[in-house]
Each structure stands twice: as C-alpha cells, then as structure tokens.
Amino acid sequence: MASTYTGLGVELQATGENAGTWGTKTNTNLQLIEQISGGFTQQNVSNSGDTDLSVTDGGTGATLAHRMIEFTSSDTLTGSRNVTIPIDVQTFYFLKNSTTGSQNVVFKYVSGSGDSVTVSPSATAVVFASANDGTNPDIISLPSGDVTLTGTQTLTNKTLTSPKIGTSILDTNGAELAKVTATSSAVNEFTIANAATGNDPTLSATGDDSNIDIAIKPKGTGETVVGTGAADATVTSSGAHNLVLDTNSGTNSGTITITDGANGNIVIAPNGTGVAQAVDGGDNTAAIKIAGKESIWVPANAMYPNTTSGCADIAQVELSNGPEIKTLDFDKDSDEFAQFAVAFPKSWNEGTVTFQAFFTADSTNTGTVSWDLQGVACADNDTINVAFGTAVAPTAKAHSGTANDLDVTAESGAVTIAGSPSTDEDVFFQISRDVSEDSLTADAKLLGIKLFFTTDAANDA
C-alpha cells in the first residue's frame, strides 16, 4: 500500500513501505511537525490577485505548514488582498500583516462561503482553520488584542489600552458604582492624574475647547458636599489668586447664600490685619461692620450736676477764635459729681464698659485730674432708687500747662454696672472728680466722655 499525506503534508507511511528510506522520511516528518508546531515564515502577498498557499506532501518549507506567518509584499498593495489555504487544512495560525500600502489581508479557504478573517495593516491575529465543513469550512478568529469576556471575570495586573466601558461600572456586590454616559461628537473630557509625595492628585477638564467648566450636579435638592467629616473642610484657590463665587456663570441671576446649623455662627476671618470688605451696587468697596467694640459720645451738656455735692451748672465759654465750649466745672478742693443716662442698643452684650474723659482747664498749672465713673441699670418696673456700682478711674491725666488746651485721658479699666443690666434698660451713670487722687490747682472743665461698650449682634432687630 502506498503512503498517504495529511492536509499539512505529513507522510503517513504504509506498513512495509519505504524500505531503506523509512528513517529519512521519518526525520522529514519530525522536521515538518516541528515546523508546524512552532515555525515562522514570511509570505509575499501579490498585488495582482489572490495568493494561494499549497501543501508540500512529504516535504518541509510549505508556508501553510508554519505556525506563524508574516505577510509581506514586494509591491505596494493598492487594495485588500486574499491569502487562501486548501479546503482540508485544519490547524491554527499566528498571522501578522506587514505588507506595504496600508491594505487588509483576508485569510480564507480557497473555496466555499465559510467565514474568513481580515488582518488589518500592522495588526496581528490568531486564527483557527477549522475544516469544519467539506464544502464551506470556516476560518475562526481567536481572541487576540481586544478580548470579549462573558460572566464575572477578575483581571490582575492587566494593562487596558483605551478600553471602551459600557454604560455603568459595578461594585463587588453587582450594584451600580458609576454610570458612564456618552455624548455625540464629544471633544472634552476628564483627565485624572496621580501625584508624587507632597503633591495632590488632580481631576482636570481637558479637550479641544479653550475654557471648559467642571460641572458637579447633585440630584434634585441634593447638595454638593466636601470634606472628610472628621475635620474642617477647606475650599481654596490654586496659587495666589482670588476665589470667586458667582451664580449662572456670573450673569447675576441668583443669590449666594451662606447658611449654618441652628444658632450657628458664620465667621469671616481675614488673615493678619486684613479686614472683611463688601462691594455695594455702585461698586463701592468698604469694610463690613462687625459686632464688637463701639463708642458713644456723651457731651457735658447731656449731663446734669448732682443735687448734693454737684459740680457747677453747664457753662458756655467763648474763646478768642472759633469754638465755643460747654463745660461742667469740677472744683479743685472737694469731690463733685454729675450724672447722665444711656439706653444702650439691644446689640449691647450687657457687659462692662470703659471710658475716656475729655476736659480742659483755664490754667497754666500742669497738675493731674482723676475722673471716676460708676453706673447702675434699671429695668421696666424696677425702682430707680438704687445705688451705683463701683467707681473706676483711668490714670490721672496731667493738664498741658496751657490754658484751654484739650486733655484726653487714657481709656479706663472695666466699669461694672450694678443692677444686672439687660436689654431695654436705662443705665444711669455718675462721673466725679476725685481730688484726693489728682493735683490740678484749678477747676477741671469736663467737655464730655467717650463711652466704650461691646456689641454681640449685627443689629438691634
């Protein structure tokens, strides 16, 4: 019986055949099997038509009997070209399209209407010649490059180059973690970058447009939340630039509202000696008034001498130039007193007050004057017949030595007002000259006092 051959040319020797040449043929078969299992060859693809690969029965070197085939071309291909194999070949191949001309190579059976595989320019493919039909066998494409996975898969240390992700990303429980929505003809996108030690990872808007917003859109009445929940949250600018909050991209169609929890404070805290400022509708910039230390001017003509040990009545003195002054004159030889009353604004914190005394003397003496202030608060339906609190004096102030020079004391220490002051109360004050603590040898002419108090509310509402 004569030898037969496989589709790839391996000789199947019949019993008793090839006496004296059996070893040579066996070695050829082994070489052919080695070639089929791992051999590499190049195949020129003709530009004039199909390139038909044929088998070499009982011999090595046939292109189709190599595991990897690289397609080349001596001429520049001007169109897609076919490379065919005999209809009974059954094996798999690694194919590479290295032809010139940027054309596809179609790998197929020589006849029939079975499936073929197209290898694009510079691409590689893994294909299986199935010989699954005597008339119309299929060339089947095996996974190479892009991989389609079904079911649940775990990829470890895999590099995905330009992966295409469907409409959602699921967590380990199969629930939606993130949704991905495609926009027709998109040109702008996010770029996510990690960072080295000491630097921040970044989420950037990038793309073809020059100026691109990043839009964060809560659902319904949801809020945009920043921070860890374990510390203060800070929103800052990159570099020494202004931080701008606007509505509708600055078209003035909304209101910026800053809110806090129930009875919570909202603090605007400039750095160093900076002040909080605001701009009005006329683009005028000015400091924002903040609750804190305030002052009231109480002139001498708003005061009245005590009935007992009172100072002199209000006097008006015409000086030789412009101002005329109204003064309460306090004697140099005995303590004298005057009184006045203040209804503080509701924004007052009902705490202690301080004061400065403004006075003069028609004298060239340089002695000092000591002024004392004490107060008591009376509420609705309270008796007014109550004692003043403890008197407090600033450092005694020396007169300049020139008649009718203005003298201003330092600010006093804290004056505690008797009567447990609260809102909507009348606070009575008594001011006196303590001659045992001063040395001016003339009347001290009180022009008024500047009364300092502290507010803890923005207004009197």
Q: In CATH, what number is assigned to the domain containing residue 410?
A: 2.60.120.260
Domain assignment of residue 128, yes or no: yes
The answer as to whether 382 is a domain residue is: yes
**Structural domain includes residue 104:** yes
Q: Which of 142, 163, 198 is the last residue of a domain?
A: 142
Q: Which structural domain, as residue segments, surrounds residue 329?
A: 294-454
Residue finishing a domain among 117, 142, 167:
142
Kindly give the confidence (pLDDT) of every residue in the chain, 461 residues in length, as a single tens digit, with 9 standing for 90 and above: 588 888 887 888 888 787 778 888 888 888 888 988 999 999 999 999 999 999 998 889 899 999 999 999 999 999 999 999 999 999 999 999 999 999 999 999 999 999 999 999 999 999 999 999 999 999 999 875 556 666 777 778 777 777 777 788 888 888 888 888 888 889 999 999 999 999 999 999 999 999 999 999 999 999 999 999 999 998 898 888 988 888 888 787 788 888 887 878 778 888 888 888 888 878 888 888 788 999 999 999 999 999 999 999 999 999 988 899 999 999 999 999 999 999 999 999 999 999 999 999 999 999 999 999 999 999 999 999 999 999 999 999 999 999 999 999 999 999 999 999 999 999 999 999 999 999 999 999 999 999 999 999 888 88
Boundary-marking domain end, from 120, 142, 164: 142
In a domain, 8, yes or no: yes
The separation between CA 243 and the C-alpha centre of its own chain, rounded to angstroms, equals: 11
User: Order of strands across the sheet with 40-44?
Assistant: 40-44, 68-72, 91-97, 124-129, 139-142
Identify whether 178 is part of a domain.
Answer: no
Domain contains 117: yes
In a domain, 359, yes or no: yes
pTM higher than 0.85: no
| 194 in any annotated domain | no
Domain count of the chain?
2
Q: Would you state the pLDDT for residue 6?
A: 86
